[in-house]
Amino acid sequence: MSLAIIHSRARLGIDAPAVSVEVHLANGMPSLTLVGLPETAVRESKDRVRSALQNAQLEFPGSRRITISLAPADLPKEGSHYDLPIALALLGAIDILPNDVIQSTVALGELSLDGSLIPVIGALPAAMAAAENGRSLLCPAASGAEAAWVGNAQVIAAPSLGAVVRHYTGQTPLPPATPGEVSQSPSQHDLRDVKGQERAKRALEIAAAGRHHLMFVGTPGSGKSMLAARLPSILPPLTPQEALSTSMIHSLAGLLDDGGISRLRPFREPHHTASMAAIIGGGRLAKPGEVSLAHNGVLFMDEFPEFPRTVLETLRQPVETGEVMIARANAHVKYPCKFMLVAAANPCKCGYLSDPSRACSKAPACGEDYMNRVSGPLRDRFDLRIDVPPVGYTDLDLPPSAEGSAEVAQRVKAARRRQHDRFADHPTAALNADAEGDLLEQIAAPDTEARQLLSRAAERFHLSARGYHRVLRVARTIADLDGAGDVRKPHLAEALSFRLPSVAVA
């Protein structure tokens, strides 16, 4: 047979569009033509495939006119994972492999010159897409463990091209791949290590319970980074569905070790010199950025005002919508990014605005100038804002707190369980931070006394509509931590105190 077709997958964010690899052999002058918008790595595949076939003692039809088409032709093809499907289609065209078998397979993998298969990124999204179409996935052995997490798709992981041929010809069938290990290593940090800062710990607990965005402002050495580093220790593990969606993004970034999936929530902490593409995503292959790598977890941005203004402003839409769209000339790639943003900042450039004996000569104007690097609309998106005062020397000599991360984590887990039960019939909401519109009014309707307090505070402090709703969400979370069915005045007062930390709410 002179025509063979096998299926593969392109990479377009967490989606994996279908690609048909078609090989046609014809008489004429020996040549090899590759069409279908291939970029450099794909165009170079013909040389890798030729060497791999020859070194694996397999026939390469070099005396024929070979045309390889990657369809659809208007979809740009990037990456080296088309090597394996091209090689298999060539073998199908010369009847070494049965065409009916390879047509029911989605293949991806890079070939080395000796015929061994090199792991590729994006095996997990490709396996998800293959399962939706009822096909099996053929991939390199090192990529099989992550792809096998898609339970309703058969995954064959092969070490070499020769092993693939022996499998499809029935000589030595390969066993289905098995999923990698599940990592659930507990956090090495504990809230018990933090001396003092009880109010900041309370803010951390509320933020963890409802996935609320949190900003710490305090002098250098007051414990802002230390508190943020202990946030993972009080968060519940990822659910199986969350672990799979998070791992799909990490697969595209090449962050899955040995195909293992972690049940720990991501904790990303980029440096303040990070570029916009590093934070939001982008680059040549429109890879996911830190906001997407923190999906279902935490994005901690230390020295928040030191980030470039343009980078900070790009956070506004992802924080609000839970997804980010990377627009390029030839593609629009969407990534999910439901994360908890935790920011830490000094009150001014020198850091000692609140201490007249140590503040610089520009105080207090320097504090306003410094914090104005963060725009008002972005600050308005933080549900909780907490001043972190310096820790006294006497507090450092105190014994560890009787309550550590384990105790706080139990309360957070119970509060989240109440939210999951509440939103069981709402596919767009899972936690209080997701509630909006009529749904928010329904679940967080305050009683008469609490509503009067909220009205007075909104009028006096000119709360925006966004700020008004975020206070309600935080109050609902505080009520969940308290085990209360209704939002009452104490819950709302505490939520307002975190929204307006320098003002006593009465």
Beta carbons within 8 Å of 121's beta carbon, 6+ residues apart: 11, 79, 251, 252, 253, 254
Alpha carbons 337 and 329: distance in angstroms, whole number: 22
Q: What pLDDT, on a 0 to 100 scale, did the predictor assign at position 359?
A: 67
Nearest C-alpha neighbor of 250 from the set 239, 241, 262: 262
Q: What pLDDT, on a 0 to 100 scale, did the predictor assign at position 330?
A: 65
Q: What is the side-by-side strand order in the sheet with 267-268?
A: 267-268, 298-301, 340-345, 214-218, 384-388
Alpha carbons 112 and 228: distance in angstroms, whole number: 44
Q: What pLDDT, on a 0 to 100 scale, did the predictor assign at position 504?
A: 40
Q: H helices of 133-168, where?
A: 141-147, 161-168
Q: What pLDDT, on a 0 to 100 scale, did the predictor assign at position 503?
A: 42
Q: Answer for the pair 43, 110: CB distance below 8 angstroms, yes or no.
A: no
321's tokens: 């919508």
Cis peptide before 38 (omega within 30 of 0): no
Q: What pLDDT, on a 0 to 100 scale, did the predictor assign at position 13?
A: 85
271's tokens: 């440096």
Q: What pLDDT, on a 0 to 100 scale, did the predictor assign at position 296?
A: 96
Q: Answer for the pair 54, 15: CB distance below 8 angstroms, yes or no.
A: no
Q: What pLDDT, on a 0 to 100 scale, did the predictor assign at position 392?
A: 76
Q: What pLDDT, on a 0 to 100 scale, did the predictor assign at position 398?
A: 75
Q: What pLDDT, on a 0 to 100 scale, did the predictor assign at position 136?
A: 93
Q: What pLDDT, on a 0 to 100 scale, did the predictor assign at position 230?
A: 94
Alpha carbons 148 and 421: distance in angstroms, whole number: 30
Q: Answer for the pair 263, 296: CB distance below 8 angstroms, yes or no.
A: no
Nearest C-alpha neighbor of 267 from the set 185, 347, 323, 176: 185
200's tokens: 């900041």
pLDDT in tens, 418-467: 999 999 988 888 999 999 988 998 999 888 898 899 899 888 888 899 99
Give Cα separations from 392 to 99, 178, 354, 360, 389 (angstroms). 75, 54, 14, 21, 9
184's tokens: 């659930």
Q: What pLDDT, on a 0 to 100 scale, did the predictor assign at position 505?
A: 41
pLDDT in tens, 224-261: 999 999 999 999 999 988 999 999 999 998 888 777 78
pLDDT tens series, the chain, 506 aa: 589 999 999 988 888 999 999 999 999 899 999 999 999 999 999 999 999 999 999 999 988 999 999 999 988 898 899 999 999 999 999 999 988 888 889 999 999 999 999 999 999 999 999 999 889 999 999 999 999 998 778 999 999 999 999 999 999 999 999 988 777 666 678 898 888 888 999 999 999 999 999 999 998 888 899 999 999 999 999 998 899 999 999 999 888 877 778 888 999 999 999 999 999 998 877 889 999 999 999 999 999 999 999 999 999 999 999 999 988 766 788 999 999 999 999 988 877 777 666 667 676 767 788 888 999 999 999 999 999 988 877 777 777 777 889 999 999 999 999 999 999 988 888 999 999 988 998 999 888 898 899 899 888 888 899 999 999 999 999 999 999 889 999 999 999 999 875 544 43
> In whole angstroms, what separates CA 506 from the centre of its chain?
40
The tokens 């967080």 sit on which residue? Answer: 444
Alpha carbons 98 and 281: distance in angstroms, whole number: 41
Q: What pLDDT, on a 0 to 100 scale, did the predictor assign at position 140?
A: 96
C-alpha neighbours within 13 Å on the C-beta side of residue 108:
33
